[in-house]
Every structure is written in C-alpha cells, then in structure tokens.
Amino acid sequence: MSGVVLIDAGGANIGSVRYALQRLGVDAQLSGDAATIRRAERVILPGVGAAAPAMERLRALDLVDTIRSLTRPLLGICLGMQLLFEHSDEAGSMATEGAGVACLGLLPGTVTKLPAAAGIRIPHMGWNTLLPRRADALLDGIAAGDHAYFVHSYAAPVTDDCIATCAHGTSFAAVVRRGRIAGAQFHPERSAQVGARILQNFLRMDFE
C-alpha cells in the first residue's frame, strides 16, 4: 500500500516500525508535516517514553489538531496508543509532578500506572498473551493465547473500545478500536507473526 505515513513523534521505535512495514512491502513516509499527514491513506503514531514529552513534541510540531481532525485510519503503537486517550497520569519531567497530562482525547478514558504487586515487575516487559474480547477485523487471524511483546509501565483501561486485553497484575487494554481509530499497546514490530498480522490487518481493513 502507498500513502502510509508514520508521524515523527520522536519515539525510539520509529525505525523498527518502519522496517516492520517494509517487510510487508510498505515503504512508509516519516513526517512531522501536517499537510503530508492529512493526505495519507493510513497514519501510524508510534511512541516510546512518557506521555508529557510526547504531547509536548506534538504541540511543538503543531500536530495535535491535525491528528484530532484526521479522517483517515489512525493506528497508535505503545505510547502512541496511550496518547489516543483523554488523559495520562504519566506526567514525566515535562509536567508538574502528579498532575498528569492531557492527551489527544480521541478515545475516552485515563491511562494509569500498572499496579505493583508481589511477583509483578514494573515495567511490564516481555512476551504476554492476548485475549480477544470480540470479533474485529483488526484481530483477524489473532487467537486467544497468542503472544505479543510489551514494554510499558502505564496502561489504558478496559472500556467498550477495548477489543483485546492482556493481564499483568491487572487486566488492561492491549488492542483498541473505535471506528477508524485503533491502537496496540504491544510492539507489533517486535511481536513476530502476531505483530505482522496486526499491521497487515490495519493496512488492508475497510474502515468505511
């Protein structure tokens, strides 16, 4: 597919996501230009790090309103998925301690820190199982118990937009979709066949 744009949000996983798309025969353009992003057929928002600096970068690039007003399908990956929600408790060094940060607001809900517990290490890092909640074209070919690779300390809530969960101390949203807005908390670019399938599904789906 042509016309795939990766938003240059500064995440360390941008290069690996781009290579994963190339393995699928897609040469995605990396861009921080609003007009280029608006023209794309598919838009992907990768992200690694904390919510506050990521939102600060999107504001510096004047992309917040552009992303909010997109009419094309949008996929958030890892932190990029968390930014789709209304708010994150992950303030980071760019925000007042404990204040959290307002995000893109494309999906309702607040991203919160995974709770620590006996035998539960934070950050959640490594392979874990997916549990689909309902049939969805984004999950085509993904079965309950399939494994994906996660690296995160904060997670999105299980809401009506959550189509697959994962558990690490508590259940959290692993894959979300509301219309043309989609997200994967795990790293598709590091999740072997499961990750490749999620990307393929996003690229091929009919979002009409």
What digits encode the pLDDT tens for the residues 92-142?
A: 654 445 568 999 999 999 999 999 888 899 999 999 999 999 999 999 999
Residue written as tokens 């990521």? 54
Confidence at residue 12, expressed as pLDDT on a 0 to 100 scale: 66
pLDDT value for 95: 43
pTM: 0.94
Tell me which residue range forms the domain holding 80.
Answer: 4-204
pLDDT of residue 162: 98
Predicted pLDDT of residue 48: 86
Per-residue confidence (pLDDT) for residue 98, from 0 to 100:
55
C-alpha closest to that of 88 among 58, 61, 60: 58
The helix (run of H) or strand (run of E) holding residue 113 is strand 107-113
Find the CATH number of the domain harbouring 175. 3.40.50.880
Catalytic residues: 78, 187, 189
pLDDT mean across residues, the chain: 93
Angle at 138 between CA 28 and CA 160, to 5 degrees: 125
Half-sphere exposure of 31 (CA within 13 A, CB side): 20
Tell me, what's the pLDDT at 94? 45
Q: How far apart are CA 72 and CA 13, in angstroms?
A: 22
Give the pLDDT of residue 2. 56
CA distance 193 to 195: 5
Predicted pLDDT of residue 92: 62
Quote the number of domains for the chain.
1
User: Which pLDDT score is estimated for 10?
Assistant: 76
Stretches where the chain sits below pLDDT 50 are: 94-96
**ω before 108 within 30° of 0 (cis)?**
no
